[in-house]
C-alpha cells in the first residue's frame, strides 16, 4: 500500500462514491453484500491495409492457438505466417486462418520476411530465450509466452536485447491486463484491505488434460515431426512422442507447475502491489500419481517471503498446486490484509471486510470469577473498541465484468499492439517478465536442491 494510504482514506472514498473507486457502495450496511459491474473502454480505431500489423505465430500448439485467436480479434491485425515442428499443426493453422498462410518448420524463415511486424513465441520454454532474442534482433516486436525464460540467467539476456534493439517485447500472462487485476490494484492502493499479511494461491486439477497428459495424434511420426529441432540445446535423447507433445512434464523443456501456473500468480501479485517480488522460497512436494515418465512433481507447495517495501508490508505467500485433487478441482487467488481480503480473478474481484473482535469472549475469561469477569467487560466497554462505526465497515462487494467482456487475453494483446503503434506503454516488459518468472522458478530451485533459496528481487539474481 502506498505511503500515506490509510483505512480511513479507503472508507472516505467508498462512502463518498468517489471516481477512484468507481461504483463503490455509497453507504456501508452491517453487513452489506452487493454486486457491481466493472467496465473498460477501447480506443475507436480504423486501420487501412497499409497500417495493419502483420503477425506471425511461432509454435502453433494449444497456447499458440488461444493466443492467436485473441490477437486477431484486435482490429488492424493480420496473421500471415505460422511455424511449427509438427505438420499436423500447420494444417490446422490453415483450417483456422486460411490457405493464404505461409507455413514452415523453421522459425528463421519467418524472421527473414520483411512483411512480418510482430511474432508470438508460444514454443516450449527451453526455446523462449533464443527465439525471442533472434526475433528482436531481426526487428520484430515480440509477444513471448510465459514463463519468459527457463532459467534465471536467460532473462537478463532478453532484457539486454530488448534495450539494444528498442523493439517492443510483451511477456504473455493472460490475466495481467484484465479488468480483475486492474480493479484489484486500484482497491489495494486505496487501502481496501489495509496492510497485506498473506497471499493464498491454489490450483487443484483432476483430469488428464489438467495434468498435461495431452492427446497424441495418430499421424505423429519421424516424418511429420522434426524431433531434433524440438530438442534444440536440450540433451539429445531418442525420438519420443511423449516428450514432444507433453513437454511440460520434463525439466529439459519446461518449468513444471511453477513456470506454467505460479508465474501467472506472480504477475498478478507483483502488479497489484507494485512489488519487485519475494526474497526467499521453500518448496516441497512430489510425484504422487501421474507416474507416466515425467520428472516434475504433480503435487507441490511453496512458501515465499516478501520483504517490506514502500508499496507493501512484509508478508508471506503460499502457492499450492495439486494435479490429483479428488475434490474435483478449482483454484483461487486471495490477498489477505489486516482489514479485509480480496479474491481476484480475471473477470471479477470480491472484497470482504470483517469486524475484528477486540473484546474478550467467554472462552478466554471463563477461568475468572463472575465478579472479575464483570469488571473486565466493563473495562473493555469503557475503551469503546467496537464502535458503531467499526460495525458499519463490514460486508462484501463483488465487482464483475460484463457478459460481453472480451477477456484478459484480448486486453493483453490490445496493450501489445497499442505499444507497437506507439499509443501506450507495455504492461509486462522483459524486466517485469523476469521478476515474475524468477519468483516462480525459485520453487524449482528449492524443490530440487531440497533447501531454502534466496533471491534479490531488485537485481533479479540468486543469492
DSSP 318-365: EEEEETT-TT--EEEEEEEESS-EEEE-SSEEEEEE-----S--HHHH
Q: Is residue 208 part of a domain?
A: yes
Query: Beta partners for 120?
Result: 57, 143
**Are residues 199 and 266 both part of a single domain?**
yes
**Are residues 252 and 380 both part of a single domain?**
yes
**Are residues 263 and 219 both part of a single domain?**
yes
Which secondary structure element, helix H or strand E, spans residue 388, and what is its range? helix 388-391
- Which pLDDT score, from 0 to 100, does residue 377 have? 86
Domain boundary among 122, 150, 172: 172
**Are residues 330 and 399 both part of a single domain?**
yes
- Overall domain count for the chain: 2
Q: Is residue 75 part of a domain?
A: yes
**Are residues 218 and 277 both part of a single domain?**
yes
**Are residues 359 and 435 both part of a single domain?**
yes
Q: Is residue 414 part of a domain?
A: no
Q: Is residue 45 part of a domain?
A: no
CATH number at residue 296: 3.30.360.10
Residue 399 φ/ψ region, left for φ over 0, alpha for ψ in the -120 to 50 degree band, beta for the rest: beta
Report how far residue 134's alpha carbon sits from residue 431's, in angstroms, rounded to the nearest whole number.
18
- Which pLDDT score, from 0 to 100, does residue 17 have? 41
**Are residues 267 and 336 both part of a single domain?**
yes
Nearby residues of 331 by Cβ (< 8 Å), 6 or more positions away: 202, 203, 204
Residue 112 to residues 108, 130, 134, 140, 230, Cα–Cα distance (Å): 6, 15, 10, 10, 20
CATH number at residue 86: 3.40.50.720
**Are residues 18 and 138 both part of a single domain?**
no
Q: Is residue 2 part of a domain?
A: no
Domain boundary among 138, 155, 172: 172
**Are residues 101 and 205 both part of a single domain?**
no
Q: What is the extent of the structural domain holding 212?
A: 7-40+177-404+429-462
Place of cell 519446461: 254
**Are residues 33 and 74 both part of a single domain?**
no
Q: Is residue 417 part of a domain?
A: no
Taking only the tens of pLDDT, the chain with its 463 residues reads 554 455 555 655 654 343 334 434 333 434 556 677 888 878 777 777 778 999 999 999 999 999 999 999 999 999 999 999 999 999 999 999 999 999 999 999 999 999 999 999 999 999 999 999 999 999 999 999 999 999 999 999 999 999 999 999 999 987 899 999 999 999 999 999 999 999 999 999 999 999 999 999 999 999 999 999 999 999 999 999 999 999 999 999 999 999 999 999 999 999 999 999 999 999 999 999 999 999 999 999 999 999 999 999 999 999 999 999 999 989 999 999 999 999 999 999 999 988 767 777 778 888 899 999 899 888 888 777 655 455 556 789 999 999 999 999 999 999 999 999 999 899 999 999 999 999 999 999 999 999 999 999 999 999 9
In this structure, the strands spanning 299-306 and 315-322 are antiparallel
| Cβ(432)–Cβ(194) below 8 Å | no
**Are residues 136 and 202 both part of a single domain?**
no
- Which pLDDT score, from 0 to 100, does residue 30 have? 43
Strands (E), 38-159: 53-58, 77-83, 102-104, 118-121, 141-145
Place of cell 479474491: 343
Report how far residue 317's alpha carbon sits from residue 322's, in angstroms, rounded to the nearest whole number.
17
Rounded to 5 degrees, what angle do the CA atoms 284, 129, 89 make?
95
Domain boundary among 172, 202, 234: 172
Report how far residue 333's alpha carbon sits from residue 318's, in angstroms, rounded to the nearest whole number.
10
Q: Is residue 421 part of a domain?
A: no
| Cβ(337)–Cβ(197) below 8 Å | yes
**Are residues 161 and 242 both part of a single domain?**
no
Q: Is residue 114 part of a domain?
A: yes
String of DSSP letters for 311-331: SS--EEEEEEEETT-TT--EE
Amino acid at each position: 500500500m502506498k505511503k500515506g494510504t490509510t483505512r480511513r482514506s479507503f472508507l472516505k472514498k467508498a462512502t463518498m462514491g468517489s471516481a477512484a473507486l468507481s461504483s463503490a457502495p455509497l453507504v456501508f450496511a452491517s453487513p452489506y453484500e452487493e454486486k457491481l459491474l466493472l467496465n473498460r473502454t477501447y480506443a475507436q480505431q480504423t486501420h487501412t491495409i497499409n497500417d495493419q500489423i502483420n503477425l506471425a505465430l511461432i509454435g502453433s500448439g494449444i497456447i499458440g492457438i488461444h493466443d492467436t485467436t485473441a490477437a486477431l480479434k484486435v482490429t488492424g491485425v493480420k496473421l500471415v505466417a505460422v511455424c511449427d515442428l509438427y505438420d499436423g499443426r500447420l494444417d490446422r493453422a490453415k483450417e483456422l486462418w486460411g490457405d493464404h498462410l505461409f507455413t514452415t518448420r523453421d522459425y528463421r524463415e519467418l524472421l527473414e520476411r520483411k512483411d512480418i511486424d510482430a511474432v508470438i513465441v508460444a514454443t516450449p520454454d527451453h526455446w523462449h530465450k533464443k527465439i525471442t532474442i533472434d526475433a528482436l534482433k531481426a526487428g520484430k516486436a515480440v509477444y513471448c509466452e510465459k514463463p519468459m525464460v527457463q532459467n534465471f540467467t536467460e532473462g537478463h539476456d532478453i532484457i539486454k536485447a530488448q534495450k539494444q534493439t528498442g523493439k517492443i517485447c510483451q511477456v504473455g500472462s493472460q490475466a495481467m491486463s484484465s479488468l480483475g487485476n486492474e480493479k484489484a490494484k486500484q482497491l489495494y492502493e486505496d487501502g481496501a484491505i489495509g496492510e497485506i499479511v498473506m497471499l493464498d494461491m491454489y490450483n487443484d486439477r483432476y483430469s488428464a488434460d489438467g495434468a498435461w497428459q495431452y492427446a497424441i495424434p495418430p499421424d505423429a511420426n519421424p516424418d511429420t515431426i522434426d524431433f531434433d529441432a524440438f530438442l534444440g540445446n536440450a540433451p539429445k535423447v531418442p525420438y519420443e512422442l511423449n516428450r514432444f507433445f507433453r513437454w511440460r512434464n520434463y525439466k529439459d523443456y519446461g518449468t513444471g507447475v511453477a513456470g506454467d501456473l505460479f508465474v501467472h500468480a506472480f504477475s498478478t501479485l507483483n502488479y497489484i502491489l507494485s512489488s519487485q517480488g519475494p526474497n526467499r522460497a521453500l518448496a516441497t512436494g512430489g510425484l504422487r500419481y501421474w507416474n507416466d515418465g515425467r520428472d516434475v512433481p504433480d503435487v507441490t507447495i511453496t512458501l515465499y517471503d516478501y520483504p517490506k517495501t514502500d508499496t507493501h508490508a512484509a508478508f508471506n505467500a503460499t502457492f499450492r498446486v495439486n494435479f490429483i485433487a479428488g475434490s474435483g478441482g478449482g483454484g483461487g487467488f486471495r490477498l489477505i490484509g489486516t482489514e479485509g481480503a480480496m479474491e481476484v480473478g480475471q473477470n471479477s474481484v470480491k472484497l470482504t471486510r470483517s469486524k475484528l473482535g477486540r473484546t474478550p469472549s467467554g472462552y478466554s475469561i471463563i477461568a475468572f470469577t463472575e465478579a472479575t469477569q464483570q469488571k473486565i467487560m466493563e473495562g473493555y466497554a469503557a475503551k469503546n473498541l467496537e464502535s458503531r462505526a467499526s460495525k458499519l465497515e463490514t460486508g462484501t462487494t463483488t465487482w464483475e465484468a460484463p457478459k460481453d467482456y472480451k477477456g484478459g487475453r484480448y486486453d493483453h494483446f490490445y496493450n501489445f499492439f497499442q505499444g507497437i503503434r506507439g499509443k501506450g506503454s507495455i504492461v509486462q516488459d522483459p524486466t517485469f517478465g523476469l521478476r515474475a518468472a524468477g519468483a516462480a522458478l525459485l520453487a524449482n530451485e528449492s524443490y530440487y536442491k531440497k533447501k531454502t533459496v534466496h533471491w534479490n528481487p531488485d537485481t533479479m539474481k540468486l543469492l
